[in-house]
Structure 1
């Protein structure tokens, strides 16, 4: 089965799926192979039955995996078996009738404007690393970028005069994304002094000379490093250590809608294919509006009983 999985992952790469997506498939399929081996199941994909996959689903539930995690695991297996059927290596997909747990719709976590200000106050603007980190953090919030989009930015992705980014999103779709003065100021400082200082400290030609954000060894700043740094800065800002790039993306969208931005504009900014994906942020904004109304309107809440 390992050879078939490698062929499937190569197929995904040829179709332009992102390295992060391919890594997720590899992780999910590898986890299934390890479970199947431990359970004494056949190593050949064609010899596995729907019952085997129901057992795996039960094992994931018993291990306490979240519904979203279980759904992703099943989706990865489903994609792999669909590929085998398409290549006529199997007659049918044994997962086609496997039911997955329903997801509870949760509104995205959003920072308040005060929390955003506290977050950005935690960066040291006097060091090369602080200037670099402030620049990418400003872009996450200003442009609502996905972390993979941020890490993929090159020097020529940035137009400081027009204050726009050229972003390569999901399925290699390109879009132009504006950013504001705070992000532009942070980028200028990083490009003027921070990035050259990082290159001088490394003392060698960088591995990816055109990468916008560089690590201490001249390499492109990775997703894992961004996540780690975000958690560190969140702790310094008193926000806890669970701040993620997606929270800043959610916050960007919600604050734009709070400021009466058009929903279609937010959809284009975020690179959503469907407007319904963007519409969930309107629920957050309505909830925030409800909170303001309840606090401000004299007859918004029930009167006190005499």
Structure 2
């Protein structure tokens, strides 16, 4: 009769499957769970390479702290450059979630992350695209073909709603409501929300739907279609890269369009609480992060409107 060593049940490799199941139960996205898995296995490799314990109760605060420090000194396997503080911070957050789970399951007696500070991340605001660049980008999409109509609609919808790429590609034809000019999207944690769009976006979407009806994959429910069927997130990123090159402007990442949306909402005097609802944020910390690179510009404009010194 095979008897399993009880301590092996607490090995991180054995616990990883249980942790993933718990994350699925909490509606974490597949992408987030894959990221957690990659970061946990990176830690296991480090522990094994340094002949350190991989059994959860035996892993100490010092082991984890040394590992996070090592990350900042480790070169990227592809570029050879040191890993960024942002990357180390992401690893910290992943491992923090695992140890929170281990403590909740009483696999460990105390949580070492309660006394480990996250890696310091220098503030690096995401640049907000210039309006003229976005106009040039849309001009590069002029035409009546499927790709041109689709790309124009994609760009306008991203700019007009601030939705994430993952939310964009999850849209179906029936997600659009032209009676209300809204789109029903499913955000992080499988949380649905309705976002409105303007008349120009409506026009772009209607034009796209007309040419979409002639596509060989028009029968599937996905809104965005590529050559082979459903358009992917990588397809959206590649499309933007190609259109930026065609427009002869610097590359614009899809997430910069989300920053553009947030910045312009706040610059126009939009309420922060409304922005949180539209963007699908639960934490007010996101308000400080999005559009931070042009926050000083908004402050100057607010001062010009208020003119406090001129009131005396």
User: What TM-score range do you get, normalising by the shorter chain?
Assistant: 0.7 to 0.9
Asked if residue 272 in structure 1 is aligned to residue 281 in structure 2, the reply is yes
Q: Given that residues 146 and 249 in structure 1 are in contact (C-alpha distance below 8 angstroms), is that contact kept between their aligned partners in structure 2?
A: yes
Match of 1:238 in 2: 248
Asked if residue 254 in structure 1 is aligned to residue 263 in structure 2, the reply is yes
Which residues in structure 2 correspond to 1:36-115 (within 5 Å)? Answer: 36-63=47-74, 64-115=82-133
In structure 2, runs of 5+ residues without a counterpart are: 1-11, 75-81, 303-312
Deviation of 1:154 (Å): 1.6
Q: Given that residues 157 and 201 in structure 2 are in contact (C-alpha distance below 8 angstroms), is that contact kept between their aligned partners in structure 1?
A: yes
Q: Given that residues 56 and 107 in structure 2 are in contact (C-alpha distance below 8 angstroms), is that contact kept between their aligned partners in structure 1?
A: no
Give TM-score, length-normalised by structure 1. 0.83
Give TM-score, length-normalised by structure 2. 0.81
CA distance in 1, matches of 2:241, 2:91: 26
- Tell me the C-alpha RMSD between the 2 structures: 2.6
Which residues in structure 2 correspond to 1:125-140 (within 5 Å)? Answer: 125-140=143-158
CA distance in 1, matches of 2:141, 2:216: 17
Deviation of 1:284 (Å): 5.1
CA distance in 2, matches of 1:26, 1:265: 35
Aligned length: 285
CA distance in 2, matches of 1:198, 1:183: 24
Asked if residue 18 in structure 1 is aligned to residue 41 in structure 2, the reply is no
Q: 1:239 to 1:189 in 2, by over 3 A?
A: same
Asked if residue 7 in structure 1 is aligned to residue 18 in structure 2, the reply is yes
CA distance in 2, matches of 1:121, 1:236: 10
Asked if residue 186 in structure 1 is aligned to residue 230 in structure 2, the reply is no
**Residues 82-113 of structure 1, C-alpha deviations (whole Å, 9 max, x = no match):** 21221122222333322222223333321121
CA distance in 1, matches of 2:300, 2:69: 41
Q: 1:93 to 1:140 in 2, by over 3 A?
A: same
Deviation of 1:143 (Å): 0.6
**Residues 65-85 of structure 1, C-alpha deviations (whole Å, 9 max, x = no match):** 222211110111121122122
Deviation of 1:213 (Å): 1.6
Q: 1:31 to 1:129 in 2, by over 3 A?
A: farther
Match of 1:296 in 2: none
Deviation of 1:158 (Å): 0.7
1:31 pairs, out of 39, 42, 65, with: 42
Q: Given that residues 144 and 249 in structure 1 are in contact (C-alpha distance below 8 angstroms), is that contact kept between their aligned partners in structure 2?
A: yes
Match of 1:167 in 2: 185
In structure 1, runs of 5+ residues without a counterpart are: 294-306
Q: Given that residues 157 and 197 in structure 2 are in contact (C-alpha distance below 8 angstroms), is that contact kept between their aligned partners in structure 1?
A: yes
Match of 2:6 in 1: none
CA distance in 2, matches of 1:165, 1:236: 29
Match of 1:226 in 2: 236
**Residues 190-247 of structure 1, C-alpha deviations (whole Å, 9 max, x = no match):** 21113532527xxxx6xxx2221233322x3222222222222222223323x22210
CA distance in 2, matches of 1:288, 1:147: 27
CA distance in 2, matches of 1:275, 1:52: 33
